């Protein structure tokens, strides 16, 4: 079975993380990605340290299976050339502030005249309208504005910094792909494209659906009291003898019963959900029990018991984990100038579909000539664009 998006062509005007990961997942589903970059420097992620050889590891990881055109969209001739591309593509993804594309003459209403079937996806921090539409921001700001930082508040009132870019990836990349796929399905029924307004901060509000449901039912808790945030002993993280950790998610009675039996603490059978001083007493007992063996010794023991106990793995341990090896969740990828990478596979899998290609991330503008020729530009037209400064071609 061919890849589901084979035959679809995407213009990718995004940079850094949210948009490039969105288009990477589209590429892994079979879409052809044409990455449009500014001639001066290109995608900012190209130069984000550390640099492997000629590009950053981040850029190489996010931009495989894409082709690069270095086109200055502030140049009138580049805009004219870009408009010639629009009727030949299916999807456009951009991450500028609202109004930027319109000022260049490339907004959705302008482009849909040329291509009524175009699916246009704009990924922004706060959406296309509202008082914050023009506000600059990054992942931490979106988490804060959406209430997600506050619900992570610890008992002492401090706020932990998130270890990964939740807003960028879950609020931007994933919602971007979902919106595009929905718009493509609608296009199949109606023949018309759509504008996908992806607000990373607004997308994060969905993470509070359980919290808001509880509040509607009259339960208002301090974050540290919530049973899913360490408020009860059956759901938390415990240190082992070697300083490494186990996650315990024994919420259901059957799992808690198994856990306390394995730990030799049967007297705690009915104390899984204790809070306050009583909860701390139970937590201390579990802490003492787990401290008697190393993490991996406990992993071997709990491999024989269904108790919702799993190791806290470090990033460097992931490639050796049997589950991820069995799923082939991480792939080896060799870049001709940057060397070997171990990267996560796309989380979007269709059984029976062919494997996506593994083209290396492109150098800035390396595909300009080939792609433009494929899309109907003559050699003379490409040379004229280059001489005018509208297009950067590799030496």
The answer to whether position 269 is within a domain reads yes
In a domain? residue 106: yes
Indicate the number of domains in the chain. Answer: 2
Confidence band of 170 (pLDDT split at 50, 70, 90): very high
Collapsing DSSP to helix, strand or coil, 148 comes out as coil
How many other C-beta atoms can be found within 10 angstroms of the C-beta atom of residue 368? 27
Residue of 337 and 196 predicted with greater confidence: 196
Domain membership flag for residue 226: no
Asked whether the CA dihedral 367, 368, 372, 378 is positive or negative, the reply is negative
Residue 136's Cα: distance from chain center in Å?
A: 19
- Domain harbouring 286, CATH code: 3.30.1540.10
Among 12, 28, 43, 168, the one annotated catalytic: 168
Residues 307 and 345 in one domain: no
Q: What is the reported pLDDT for 394?
A: 87
Give yes or no: 138 in active site. yes
Q: Quick one: which of 20, 59, 24 has its CA closest to 346?
A: 24
CB 337, CB 53: distance < 8 Å: yes
pTM summary value: 0.94
Please check whether residues 254 and 297 belong to one and the same domain. Answer: yes
Are 150 and 33 within one domain? yes
Measure the CA–CA gap between 32 and 50, rounded to whole angstroms. Answer: 28
Q: Find the domain containing 280 and state its range.
A: 245-311
Both 272 and 383 in one domain: the answer is no
pLDDT digit string (tens) for 33-70? 999 999 999 999 999 999 989 999 999 999 999 999 99
Name which of 151, 162, 258, 318 is nearest 248 in CA terms. 258
Half-sphere exposure of 256 (CA within 13 A, CB side): 19
Tens-digit pLDDT profile for residues 280-298 = 999 999 999 999 999 999 9
Pair 288, 340 in one domain: no
- Determine, yes or no, domain membership for 225: no
Residues 127 and 81 in one domain: yes
8 A C-beta contact, residue 201 and residue 207 = no
Reading the block at residue 139, the tokens are: 């992942």
Least confident of 81-85, 185-189, 301-305, 354-358: 354-358
Residue 360, in any domain of the structure: yes
Q: Look up residue 51 and give its DSSP letter.
A: B
Segment 293-319 mean pLDDT: 97
| CA–CA separation, 42 and 363 (whole Å) | 9
**pLDDT given for residue 361 in this prediction:** 96
Residues facing residue 230 across a β-bridge:
none
Residue 96 lies in a domain: yes
DSSP H or E stretch at residue 135: none
| Mean of per-residue pLDDT scores for the chain | 95
Instruction: For residue 336, give both structure tokens.
Output: 């001709």
Residues 333 and 304 in one domain: no
Write down which residue in 283, 311, 339 finishes a domain: 311
| Rg of the chain on CA atoms, in Å | 25
Active-site annotation holder among 75, 138, 197, 321:
138
Find residue 132's DSSP bridge partners: none
């Amino acid at each position: 079975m061919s890849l589901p998006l084979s035959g679809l062509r995407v213009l990718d005007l995004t940079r850094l993380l949210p948009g490039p990961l969105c288009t990477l997942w589209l590429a892994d589903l079979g879409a052809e990605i044409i990455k449009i970059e500014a001639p001066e420097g290109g995608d900012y992620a190209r130069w984000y340290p550390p640099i492997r050889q000629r590009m950053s590891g981040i850029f190489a990881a996010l931009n495989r299976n894409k082709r690069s055109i270095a086109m200055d969209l502030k140049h009138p001739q580049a805009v004219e050339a870009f408009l010639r591309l629009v009727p030949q593509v299916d999807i456009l993804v951009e991450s500028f502030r609202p109004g930027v594309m319109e000022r260049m003459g490339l907004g959705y209403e302008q482009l849909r005249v040329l291509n009524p079937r175009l699916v246009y996806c704009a990924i922004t921090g706060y959406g296309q309208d509202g008082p914050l539409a023009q506000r600059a921001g990054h992942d931490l700001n979106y988490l804060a504005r959406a209430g997600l930082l506050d619900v992570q508040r610890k008992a002492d009132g401090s706020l932990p910094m998130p270890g990964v870019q939740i807003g960028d990836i879950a609020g931007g990349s994933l919602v971007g792909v979902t919106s595009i796929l929905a718009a493509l399905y609608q296009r199949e029924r109606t023949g018309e494209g759509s504008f996908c307004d992806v607000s990373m901060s607004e997308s994060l509000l969905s993470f509070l659906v359980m919290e808001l449901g509880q509040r509607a039912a009259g339960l208002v808790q301090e974050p540290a009291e919530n049973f899913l945030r360490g408020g009860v002993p059956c759901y938390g993280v415990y240190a082992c003898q070697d300083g490494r950790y186990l996650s315990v998610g024994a919420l259901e009675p059957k799992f808690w019963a198994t856990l306390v039996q394995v730990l030799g603490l049967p007297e705690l059978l009915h104390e899984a959900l204790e809070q306050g001083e009583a909860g701390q007493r139970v937590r201390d007992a579990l802490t003492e029990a787990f401290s008697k063996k190393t993490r991996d010794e406990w992993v071997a023991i709990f491999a024989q018991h269904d108790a919702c106990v799993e190791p806290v793995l470090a990033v460097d341990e992931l490639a050796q984990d049997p589950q991820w090896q069995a799923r082939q969740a991480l792939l080896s990828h060799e870049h001709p100038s940057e060397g070997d990478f171990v990267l996560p596979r796309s989380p979007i899998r269709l059984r029976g579909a062919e494997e996506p290609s593994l083209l290396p991330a492109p150098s800035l503008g390396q595909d300009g000539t080939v792609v433009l020729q494929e899309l109907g530009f003559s050699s003379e037209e490409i040379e004229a664009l280059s001489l005018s400064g509208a297009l950067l071609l590799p030496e």
